[in-house]
Structures are given as C-alpha cells and as structure tokens.
Amino acid sequence: MDARTDTRHIPLCVDLDGTLVAADTLWEGVAIILLRNPLLLFAMIGWALKGKACLKAEVARRSGRVAADWPYRDAVLARLEREKLTGRPIVLVTGAAESVARDIAAHTGLFTDIMHSTETLNLTHSRKRDALVARYGEGGFDYMGNSRDDVPVFSAARRAIVVAPDAAAEAWRRDHDAERLDVGRISPLAALKSIRVHQWAKNVLIAVPMILNHEVLHLDALFSVIIAFFAFSFLASAVYVINDLSDLGNDRRHPKKRFRPLASGQMSVPVAIVLAGCLTVASVALALLLPFDFALVLGFYAVATTAYTFVLKRKLLVDVFTLAGLYTVRIVAGAAATDTELSFWLLAFSIFFFLSLALVKRYVELNDFDGEPDAYVPGRGYQAVDFDMVGQAGIASAFTAALVLALYVHSREMEAMYSNPLALWPLCPLVLYMLLRIWMLARRRMLHEDPVVFIMHDWRSIFTVGIGAVLVVAGTLGS
C-alpha cells in the first residue's frame, strides 16, 4: 500500500476540552480559583484584557489541577489506544495552556506530539485549522473534536470524528455524514440531577412547628410554610451546585460521586454558575413574601451552609455539629415563617436527633473507606481509625435525643399543650427504634444515601413517623 494512502501515516489530531475530557479546562480552572479567592476576579479581568491566551496561561498556573483530576472519556481513550497500536501518529491539538496539555499528554501516554496555546496565541477555531493545514496540508490529517470552534478544522481535515457534539458540530456532522463516536449516554436532565430535588425532602422540617402547634388547618400558616419550603429548597440546591464546583477533584476520585453531573462533565461550569445564580434569586424573591425574621434565618442558613461548603466540612467533628445545626435551622425557619413560638425542648431534641444522623453519614463514609488506618478520608477531617469513635458518639446521641424527648413529654409545656400527654410516651421508643435501625443498616453497609432522605423514603421509617403522628393526635384528645 502506498504510504500516502495508508491511514497509519495520516496523523490523528485530537481536541482536548469536551473531546478527550468531558470538561472545559479553562472554565473549571476559573471556577476553582474564584471559589478559593474571589478577589482574584479583578486579576482575571486584567488577564482577559490581554487576550484569552494570556488568561488561559495564568489560570493554568494557579488552578492546581493535575492530569488525574480530569474526567476522561473512556470511549475516546479506547479509540486512541487502538490507533496507537497500529503505529499511527496521534497529536493532541488543543486551545488549552501548555502546562495543561503537557500534563495530560504525559498522563495518558498516547500522543506523539502536542500543539497548544501559548501566552500570545489562542489555538482555537480558524487558528487551529491554519496551524494544522500549515503542518500537514489540506486534508492531510484526521481530526477528532466536539464543538462549534472545531467546525473549521473538520472542514479542513481528511476525515472528521465528532465526539459528544454541540448543536453546531452536530449540524456539520449530519450535513457531511461524518462519523460520530459513541461516548455513552449523556443525560439531558443533568441540571435537574445537580440540584438534587430528592434532597428537598429535608425541608419538610419547616412544617414541624406548624404541626406541633396544631395549625395545619390554618390556610395562612400552610401557605407560608409552602413558600418557606421552596425558598429553602432553591437556596439549598444553589449551595449543592457550588459545593460540587468546589469539590470536583475529590468527587472525581470518589467511587460514587464521580458520576455527578459536574464531576462527570455532563454539565458545564458556566451552566452550573448560571443555575446557582437563578436558584439564589428565586429563593430571595420568595423570602420577601414572608416575615422579616424568616429572611434573617434564611440569610444565616446561607452563610452557615456556605461556610460548611468551603471550610467546615473538612474540620473534625465541627462538620457534624454544623450539619445538625443546619437541620435544626429549618425548624427555626418554620417557626419564623408562621410566627410560631419555639420550644426549648424541641430545639434540644432536634440537635441530638440530627447530630446522630450527621454522625451516621460520616460513619457510612468511613465504613466504605479502604485506606490505611491513619489515612484521611478525601475532603474530610476523619481517618479510618475514627470509625468506632464516630459510631459510639452517634449511638450516644440517639439515646440522648430519646431522653430529651422523654423529659419534654413530662414537661409543663406539654401538659399545657396536650390534654392527654401520657399518650405521647411511646414516641420515645419509636425514636430509638428509628435511629438504632439506621445505625444497624449503616453497620451492615446497607445505607447508601443521606440518612434524612432515607427516612423520607423508607417505608418502615414512614410507618414509624405515621404512628408518631397518630400518638400526637391522640394526645390532643381528652383523657
């Protein structure tokens, strides 16, 4: 076969962002830097004014990302490995900064050459096409890409291979009947998954003060609770998105979290930022419809949960106390939304109840952690050796919650509120049953989700809560 027509002698040029990796290295680097130090936004504006190539170089120097952090497309890697076995030259051609390109090339070990942006040249769109044509000639190379910026390069290539295309790249592919490399299913519901609607179940706690004060049939209170529920849910979802942005490196090394929309590359960083902003605006707009005290509680929750996202979740024990507090804040918010007086006993019970659930969440992580005894769980302040201690503290908190509830049932407040408070005594063993069962499931490695969400979906827990509700109703009836 003539060397000029032998595919093995035609270089396969491969794009990086969105093609080899399911992410945009520039946008992700920008997000990581700003989450670490928001004041660098002003420096970024200066870099951008000097040109996008300068911005890319500066971001790459400061982001701290390494090659192992990126979400590689397995189908693309497999294709390149097969091509390499034939002896075909494979060239990484990317608009990313030199340090990023060289790091990834060294990590994968697949490329015979690299073409990348410099501090003065942004190697994208027509500039990438011109550079490849100058080196290999018109039609002298095959090209694998994914986006609008790659369309001019597709047109200059001998053969185009389209990967996870955007609208412009897909339109070009259909018009030219080009190959599309199957990289697996990309969910159109990635944004919905990233806001974790299932976690909204936690915000049902906002209704607790209304229920315990027997105001369920008051339409004004019910309407306020519904608004408060969505205000908290939207804000919590915005924080989930920001949390995923800040924890991309750890999530990609986690056996389960690596499939989250941002970590897997199904959702881009710009979309995530816009989504978080819209959710925050919607939350604030709803809060304006409720009493000012609710807005204060929501603001406190925003500050506390942001502090948890960036700092507190990495601190030993501080993280679980913060989580327990954040659950209790939802109850405080419910009282503020309906202008209901809070009971000290309810707050004390909530703290210990949710502290037990927060500890079981860490217990599950430690139970699934396969590191050495003195190794830290990624992104946490715990070591594998802390496993037993966390379990003991969590079970002790469960018993303390039941004890506080027992004291509450026997309090003067309960006697004033319920005509038959003795009917509420079975709540104590019911609470212990619910918590200890969760702990036993965690020990057996049968608990695979947030324990609060688990309670909302587990039929035994729901049945237990239902019995509790019946007991509360019975307590309101005359003796």
User: What is the average per-residue pLDDT within 206-214?
Assistant: 85
344 within 8 A of 338, measured Cβ to Cβ: no
Query: 3-state secondary structure string, the chain?
Result: CCCCCCHHHCCEEECCECCCECCCHHHHHHHHHHHHCCCHHHHHHHHHHCCHHHHHHHHHHHHCCCHHHCCECHHHHHHHHHHHHCCCCEEEECCCCHHHHHHHHHHHCCCCEEECCCCCCCCCHHHHHHHHHHHHCCCCCEEEECCHHHHHHHHHCCEEEEECCCHHHHHHHHHHCCEEECCCCCCCCHHHHHCCHHHHHHHHHHHHHHHHCCCCCCHHHHHHHHHHHHHHHHHHHHHHHHHHHHCHHHHHCCCCHHHCHHHHCCCCHHHHHHHHHHHHHHHHHHHCCCCHHHHHHHHHHHHHHHHHHHCHHHCCCHHHHHHHHHHHHHHHHHHHHHCCCCCHHHHHHHHHHHHHHHHHHHHHHHHHCCCCCCCECCCCCCEHHHHHHHHHHHHHHHHHHHHHHHHHHCCHHHHHHCCCHHHHCCHHHHHHHHHHHHHHHHHCCCCCCCHHHHHHHCHHHHHHHHHHHHHHHHHHCCC
pLDDT digits (tens, 9 = 90+) for 121-148: 999 999 999 999 999 999 999 999 999 9
Residue 251: the pLDDT is 78
**Which of the four pLDDT bands, split at 50, 70 and 90, describes residue 4?**
very low
Percentage of the chain beyond pLDDT 90 is 53
| Residues comprising the chain, all counted | 479
User: What is the average per-residue pLDDT within 201-216?
Assistant: 85
* Phi, psi values for residue 160, rounded to 5°: -110, 140
Q: Which residues are CB-neighbours of 170 under 8 A, at least 6 positions away? A: 162
- Torsion from C-alpha of 461, 465, 466, 471, nearest 10 degrees: 140
β partners of residue 160: 143
β partners of residue 113: 91
List, edge to edge, every strand of the sheet that includes 113-115: 113-115, 90-93, 12-14, 142-145, 159-163, 179-181
Judge whether residue 96 has pLDDT over 70: yes
pLDDT digits (tens, 9 = 90+) for 143-185: 999 999 999 999 999 999 999 999 999 999 999 999 999 877 6
Residue 185: the pLDDT is 65
Cα distance from N-terminal residue to C-terminal residue, the chain: 99
User: What is the average per-residue pLDDT within 346-360?
Assistant: 93
Interatomic CA distance for residues 20 and 94, integer angstroms:
10
Least confident of 243-252, 277-286, 428-437: 243-252
- In this structure, what token pair is assigned to residue 54? 């300068």
Interatomic CA distance for residues 263 and 248, integer angstroms:
6
Residue 76: the pLDDT is 95
Nearest alpha carbon to residue 369 among 359, 358, 380: 380
Nearest alpha carbon to residue 244 among 262, 256, 232: 262
**Which of the four pLDDT bands, split at 50, 70 and 90, describes residue 263?**
confident
Q: Which residues are CB-neighbours of 192 under 8 A, at least 6 positions away? A: none
Least confident of 114-118, 250-254, 266-270, 426-430: 250-254
Interatomic CA distance for residues 245 and 72, integer angstroms:
17
**Which of the four pLDDT bands, split at 50, 70 and 90, describes residue 478?**
low
- In this structure, what token pair is assigned to residue 200? 């909204």
User: What is the average per-residue pLDDT within 251-273?
Assistant: 81
